[in-house]
Amino acid sequence: MAEALITKSDGRDAEGWLCRAFETAQKQGARLWELRAASSLARLWRNQGKRTDARDLLAPIYRCFTEGFDTPDLKESAALLAELA
C-alpha cells in the first residue's frame, strides 16, 4: 500500500500518510509496523535526496530488534541502511 502511495500520489500526500502510520505504530508499540512505515518513509526521503533524514529515522528502530534478522522486513531495512550509509 505504501509503495502505491509513493508512486501514484505526490510526495507530500505519501509522506503525510506514512508519517501517520509511523506515529500510530509507535503509539501502539507495534515495532514491526513501525519498522515497515519507517522503511517506506526512508525510501521516499532517499528518493527526495533526504538521505541523512532517512538514515536517522530508520537506524534507531532497526537497532531495537534483537532477533529475526533473516526475515524479509529486517533484511530490507538492513539493505536500505547500508545504501544510506
Of 74, 68, 4, residue with least CA distance to 39: 74
What are the grid coordinates assigned to 55, written together?
538514515
How confident is the model over 33-54, as a mean pLDDT? 96
Cα–Cα dist 29/10, whole Å: 29
Q: Which pTM was predicted?
A: 0.87
DSSP 29: T
Measuring CA to CA, which residue among 68, 61, 70 is closest to residue 31? 61
Band the pLDDT of 1: cuts 50, 70, 90: low
pLDDT in the model for residue 63: 97
Structure confidence at residue 12 (pLDDT) = 72
CA distance 45 to 41: 6
pLDDT digits (tens, 9 = 90+) for 6-19: 666 666 788 999 99
